[in-house]
Structure 1
Amino acid sequence: MKKCLLISALTLSIFSAKANQDSVTVELGEVVISENRIEIPFNKTSRNISIISRKDIETTPARSLQEVLAFTPGVDVRQRGVTGVQGDIGIRGGGFEQTLMLINGIKMTDPQTGHHIMNIPIPLQAIQRVEVMKGPASRIFGQNAYAGAVNIVTTLPETASLNIQNYGGDFGMKGASIVSSLPVKLPFGLYKQTLSVSHDASNGHWYNSDYKVNNVFYEGGLDINDQHEIRTMIGYTERDFGANGFYTNSFPDQWESIQTFLASLSHTFEKKQLYIQTRAYWRKNDDEFRLRRNEPAFFTNLHTSHTTALEINSRYQSQFGTSGFGVEGRNEKINSTNLGNRQRTFLGVFAEHRIEFWEDFDFRAGVYSNYYDEYGWKHFPGAELGYQINNSSRLYTNYGASYRIPSFTDLYYQDPSNLANPNLVPEEAQSFEIGYKFQKNGLRAELVYFNRYSKNLIDWYREPSTVSPNPNRWTPRNISEVTFQGIETGIQYAFGASSKNIKLKEATLSYNFIDANLMQNSGVESRNTLSALRHQLIGGIKTEWFNDFEMNVKARYLERMALDPYFLLDVRVDYKRLKTFGLFAEASNVTNSDYIEAGFVQMPGRWFRAGINLNLVR
């Protein structure tokens, strides 16, 4: 904390401190969902999308993106400990391998395992918004977007600013972040840039669950003229953590160390009706895993994966509507002491078109064709139809095909607790959705029914045993046919004027139900599928007191397909959040519930943290 206060004192001579404006008090209809090619206003989309705004991120009782996503309807976040040191993201009953994570449209695909897609190098305070696309997105993003996609969006401000946050809490928890923006005027344009760093650490909430997480993220952008823009991103994250119960309960001294590096460069050309974006990116992930933390010679895995890709995305607007085109090439390779030295190459081609007709209807259809050097050509068609009933109501439906090839871990990983299966075949799915949206005078509501028919679903199983812990090894296998179907409902109301000193700002309530016709033999354990959510009820209330205090209360009831249900209550209080100097306090699991989200990790009971927030704007 002393270091953070020293930094803020030194910068006061450069920055003049003043109150910030809440940059997210904007109608969601004004938010544009880009999807890499075709841009569509949020209120014109014909699929179920959740937007997590900057204000939501700031006021949610959470210390990580994983925890923020846990309050999103239809999203299943399964954490192995606090603050998301490792968290798996599932959508609509899908597993972590079936969700695609993106940063500004760039894919965070990891060929080793989907456990690493949340190795995000961006501090939470540097994220502007998060777009959660539920349902198949393979037609838009490719094969990894099997059940849905999550896109993290950052911005490049045109004014200089500095945000410093510091916090501490239970379990020896401590953390700090610095998010800075310093645009520079050049002879040929304004160079916008941000630099963000963060550090989080804890002694752990139970045996061998300590962690350290460091993030560094730099982003720069130059508008050369009205037609050309160049943008770059460089990010690095390192995570060291005790992994007790993460993958097996047979070795409580598991330990893991991960370093992820991301770099990208893009060029955008836009003139009249034509838009073309070309970009290249590289992602490297180093992973060291030990079954016994202090005995590396007993069993240690070393994995290094590289993902290199080049993309061209474009759109053209004409009297016949908007057309989108794209092509991508990607190479994935891994050097591993366990998985071996392997690589695979992808080539993808996108084409889609959107039209509006009869004033109130819009239709969008397209196909993504992908060539895999292991599996040949595969095609993912999809279509969306929307009907704008009036200014407040919208009815929509969509269909999509999706596909996921096994990760290298699925195919080749072996250790004393796991057995490889190189004969796995890719997963395939056909999905259908129909929904209704309503938005008027501060009220937003949505009702959705979805159905996903899956073939060759991959899950890890092990046979039962009378011995504890179970000595049988986990083995991945294909399940012939499974149908996931469910209902998603949500309502949000932003209140108008209320009493002068105590204001009820917003109330939200959502309920999601998922059913899967999946049967298992008695006693057989499933690592992923049978622990998916069946019932999810989320409620929230935001209040403001005396203009300076804000309180956000979140309640969740969660019931999984093969686990006991549990109830969680979380609270955050902010004091002068938008002022130069502010304070905040958070409490998680206020009800002190006993529960497990993933693996064999017993999640903590009631725990607290508090901190300070400093905003400086020039």
Structure 2
Amino acid sequence: MKKQFLFAILTGLALSTKAQTDTTTQHLDEVIIQENRIQIPFSKQSRNISIIDKQQIETTPGRSLQEILSFVPGVDVRQRGVTGVQADIGIRGGSFAQTLMLLNGIKLTDPQSGHHMMNIPVPMVNIDRVEVLKGPGSRIYGQNAYAGAINVITSLSEEKFLRVQGYAGDFGMKGINFAGSLPAGKYKQNIAVSYDDSNGYQYNSDYQVSNIFYEGGINLNDQNSLRGMIAYTDRTFGANGFYSSSFPDQWESIQTTLSSLSHTLNTGQFYLNSRAYYRRNVDEYRLRRNEPEFYQNNHTSNVYALEANGHFKSSLGTTGFGVETRQETIESNNLGDRERTMGGLFLEQLFNFGDLVDLRAGIYSNYNSNYGWKHFPGAEVGFQASKEIRLYSGYGVSYRVPSFTDLYYVGPTNIGNDQLVPEQAQNWEIGAKWSKANFRSELVYYIRNTDNLIEWTRPTDNAGEDIPWQPQNFTKVNFDGIELSLFYRVNPRATTFQIKEFSFSYNYINADLKEQPGVETRYALTSLKNQVIGGALFGIGKKTEWNTKMRYVERMNQDPYFVIDMRIDYNRLGKIGVFAEASNLTNTEYVEAATIQMPGRWFRAGFMLNLE
């Protein structure tokens, strides 16, 4: 393992050295980060943000967003099986419940359980880019953006096109998706349908996943526009060991519906986006797949929300403001019939002191019908030391409320705790960014001091009894870490062999949560500790691309593992293309979540058809 790890790092450094001799340059697009109020170009952000763009989505070896996120620095993806059929996402050592998922700024938080946050009803082909905000996001996105937030962005095309992609692979895996754009005058619209299934790589790990996605929009005039979306996903899977290693025949079926309608007014000096959205999640869970009468949970959760966010410009700079209201309900044979209401107020100000210094400060005030009012201030300051170097520092308070499962669940292996109080954390970070021509790099150090951390525990001295897990509040837990990342990209050339993209990152996270005598913890003591990610995208001739990705992951109190994935594309941007992918080329035995062994070396291949 150590020899493989050292060889991978040396190979990456060698590739980096070679890439630096390439004189081809490319000016990366000045991407505007899609926050809900003040939107700032990526190069002017005083935060640690990673962007996964269209090229990376299309060339990274992976059949799901979850697999692609596993190559983002500081992001901890814990899959239960392949292609992300059920996966938890953590950021900077945080748990799956401490990450907020969004789709075009719409919160996808499920009040039942954080395990459902990745039920994103959007086929991969429709994703334009993904923005990963690391660190406190409560001031920007509201509650539950505790350790970070991930915003999936789609875009409406003005051109007609049809894209078809199909694939097949090991474990009886197969899938097909159709995505098209059909603008009609001023009205733009996208529609996509996808289906994936597999027999499973081990007993009771089969799955079927279907997605239907539609979005449309129209510019009413130069200042007003409307945009709407409706999407649906159905995930049904054998859940061998997913939630308890004692029951190999677990099974789950989840259907998620999401719809939204928004209006945008933009005069240049004044911007206002108003939207309403609705999310419904239906979850059927069986402890024994073919015996629902033995133990079965049926949950139906609904989220209704209204938001208005905007900004205006004045002599003081840019002022951002927002208001939100949200109602969450659940009907469950296990959790009971519950509901809670939340409201929020946002206010922030961006000051520019000449061309070199900027300060962004604000506060989010949240009302929860169960916990009352809470206030979350934060600020970031940036200093443009030179054209290439930007220094920054920030502070923020983050917040997460317990899920209904945390509070009320009753089962043979888990039991809730209705005395839980919300988690809260103080966050600090300091960092530096360097960007020149084809290169960009970033170094950041961060601290998160948590009060009332919610963690599932059970006594270790159980006298032979199988005592269930139950969540508790820990008084104080401190995290600190460092992240280093390097990225290189060059314009493609018609050469025989070319390094088109290279990336390397290292993360170290330290948590002072210690084992307590007689108490076993479920998630916190398996948080990310060391993470190394590397990758290189090679161009071979005019039409062939070869992408190699590697990960070295070490979590607290778990064995480290090293994995290499690979993908080859031919004519990806042409009318007809083909690809082949391989995962875990090292044939490593490893576990990402619970006690579930991930598969060894496995393969898939497919085709792409692009019509315009």
Partner of 1:64: 64
Distance in 1 between residues matched to 2:442 and 2:119, nearest whole Å: 31
| Contact 2:494–2:542 under 8 Å retained in 1 | no
Question: Please, which moves more after superposition, 291-300 or 496-505?
Answer: 496-505
| Contact 1:29–1:43 under 8 Å retained in 2 | no
Partner of 2:22: none
- 2:136 matched to 1:136? yes
Letter of the structure 2 residue corresponding to residue 387 of structure 1: F
- 2:545 matched to 1:545? no
Distance in 1 between residues matched to 2:308 and 2:27, nearest whole Å: 31
Partner of 1:475: 470
Q: 2:448 pairs with 446, 452, 465, which one?
A: 452
Partner of 1:108: 108
Distance in 2 between residues matched to 1:598 and 1:146, nearest whole Å: 21
Shift of the 501–248 alpha-carbon distance from structure 1 to 2, 3 Å rule, reads same
Shift of the 32–562 alpha-carbon distance from structure 1 to 2, 3 Å rule, reads same
| Contact 1:28–1:42 under 8 Å retained in 2 | no
Shift of the 304–437 alpha-carbon distance from structure 1 to 2, 3 Å rule, reads same
| Contact 1:370–1:377 under 8 Å retained in 2 | yes
| Contact 1:162–1:178 under 8 Å retained in 2 | yes
Name stretches of at least 5 consecutive residues in structure 1 with no aligned partner.
1-24
Distance in 2 between residues matched to 1:182 and 1:236, nearest whole Å: 20
Distance in 1 between residues matched to 2:245 and 2:522, nearest whole Å: 12
| Contact 1:28–1:43 under 8 Å retained in 2 | no
| Contact 1:29–1:42 under 8 Å retained in 2 | no
Cα displacement (A) at 1:472: 2.3
- 2:176 matched to 1:204? no
Partner of 2:364: 368
| Contact 1:498–1:504 under 8 Å retained in 2 | no
Partner of 2:400: 404
Letter of the structure 2 residue corresponding to residue 179 of structure 1: A
Distance in 2 between residues matched to 1:524 and 1:116, nearest whole Å: 27
Cα displacement (A) at 1:294: 0.2
Distance in 2 between residues matched to 1:380 and 1:524, nearest whole Å: 32
SS of equivalent residue, structure 2 residue 363: strand
Letter of the structure 1 residue corresponding to residue 368 of structure 2: Y
Partner of 1:503: 498
Q: 1:586 pairs with 581, 590, 606, which one?
A: 581
- 2:579 matched to 1:616? no
Distance in 2 between residues matched to 1:466 and 1:592, nearest whole Å: 37
Partner of 1:221: 217
Distance in 2 between residues matched to 1:349 and 1:28, nearest whole Å: 35
Shift of the 316–528 alpha-carbon distance from structure 1 to 2, 3 Å rule, reads same
| Contact 1:201–1:210 under 8 Å retained in 2 | yes
- 2:24 matched to 1:55? no
Q: 1:243 pairs with 234, 239, 243, which one?
A: 239
- 2:344 matched to 1:348? yes
Identity %: 58
Question: Please, which moves more after superposition, 411-420 or 277-286?
Answer: 411-420
Shift of the 103–339 alpha-carbon distance from structure 1 to 2, 3 Å rule, reads same
Letter of the structure 2 residue corresponding to residue 203 of structure 1: N
- Residues 557-568 of structure 1 mapped to structure 2, 5 A cutoff: 557-568=552-563
Q: Deviations over 1:518-555 (max 9, x none)?
A: 10136744221111110000011110111111000001
| Contact 1:138–1:402 under 8 Å retained in 2 | yes
Cα displacement (A) at 1:100: 0.4
Partner of 1:292: 288
Question: CA-atom RMSD, angstroms?
Answer: 1.5
| Contact 2:27–2:438 under 8 Å retained in 1 | no
Cα displacement (A) at 1:272: 2.9
Question: Please, which moves more after superposition, 498-507 or 273-282?
Answer: 498-507
Partner of 1:606: 601
Q: TM-score, normalised by structure 1?
A: 0.93
| Contact 1:202–1:210 under 8 Å retained in 2 | yes
Distance in 1 between residues matched to 2:230 and 2:38, nearest whole Å: 26
SS of equivalent residue, structure 1 residue 57: helix
Cα displacement (A) at 1:467: 9.3
Q: Deviations over 1:205-226 (max 9, x none)?
A: 1110000000000000010100
SS of equivalent residue, structure 2 residue 337: strand
Shift of the 423–393 alpha-carbon distance from structure 1 to 2, 3 Å rule, reads same
- Residues 218-367 of structure 1 mapped to structure 2, 5 A cutoff: 218-367=214-363
Name stretches of at least 5 consecutive residues in structure 2 with no aligned partner.
1-24
Distance in 2 between residues matched to 1:317 and 1:34, nearest whole Å: 18
SS of equivalent residue, structure 1 residue 84: coil
Cα displacement (A) at 1:463: 2.8
Instruction: Tell me how many residue pairs correspond in the alignment.
Output: 588
Distance in 2 between residues matched to 1:467 and 1:248, nearest whole Å: 20
